[in-house]
Amino acid sequence: MGVRSPISSKLGLLFVPVGIVGTPILLLGLFLATETGTRLLSSVIGPVNIWNAANSIPPDGEVLGHYRLTGSTEESLHAKGIFISGNSGFTLEPNHKLEVIDLPAFDEWGKPRDCNYNGNGTWSLYGPTGEISLTMDIKVVPATPENLKACGTENAGLMTLLGHSAPHRFWYVIGDPDEDEGLLYKKD
């Protein structure tokens, strides 16, 4: 048995309280960073949704269905003063047919435009591995009294396919994709 130095045993005792106090603080910080937003985390490791992006284009049958804006996304937008219709969503149908209801439009800086995408059209998935995106070619229908006016027939914006297997989700990018700000649409 060796003789322990009194200094090394005192240093060892110092690390115990630091670990006891520091661990909960670190865990709380990580929890708050992921619950209140991903900007801090994104600034360190890049856009968080990139880790959830689909690796390859799935069979059509895996993505067909109706997708609706998630409640947590809607709540965070309301906190920023952005209001989106509770009906906001889209349906991917067989034969690449598409129906869009109250899909919000944003400019290149992420500011809401005064119109929504509504109508029918076609859809397709494209992109290299890890960057699969949804393209929507919307044929506009006139706005109804309860909806905002309809946007033009341009592409509805960048929608990234999330999930390595079904059920997939779509991340509708708002503004700069590197800021990881967007809307999450989940399958009903």
Omega before 167 within 30 of 0, i.e. cis: yes
Bridge partner list, 120: 99, 139
**Is residue 75 predicted with pLDDT exceeding 60?**
yes
Q: In DSSP terms, which residues pair with 138 in a beta bridge?
A: 121
Do 66 and 119 share a domain, yes or no?
Answer: yes
| Whether residues 114 and 55 fall in one domain | yes
Query: What are the CA-CA distances from residue 154 to residues 115, 135, 144, 157, 158 (Å)?
Result: 12, 10, 20, 8, 12
**88, 122: one domain:** yes
* Cα distance between residue 102 and residue 109, in whole Å: 20
pLDDT at residue number 163: 87
Same domain, 162 and 87: yes
- 113 and 174 part of one domain: yes
pLDDT in tens, 7-45: 555 555 555 565 566 677 766 665 555 544 444 444 444
Domain co-membership, 131 together with 168: yes
Taking the model in full, what pTM does it have?
Answer: 0.69
In angstroms, the CA 55 to CA 45 distance is: 19
User: How many domains would you assign to the chain?
Assistant: 2
130 and 75 within one domain: yes
Q: What is the per-residue pLDDT across 54-74, written as a single tens digit (0 to 9) for each?
A: 888 999 999 999 999 887 666
* Mean of pLDDT over the chain: 75
Judge if 62 and 155 occupy the same domain: yes
Q: Are residues 80 and 151 in the same domain?
A: yes
Q: Do 119 and 97 fall into the same domain?
A: yes
- Give residue 62's Cα distance to chain centre: 19
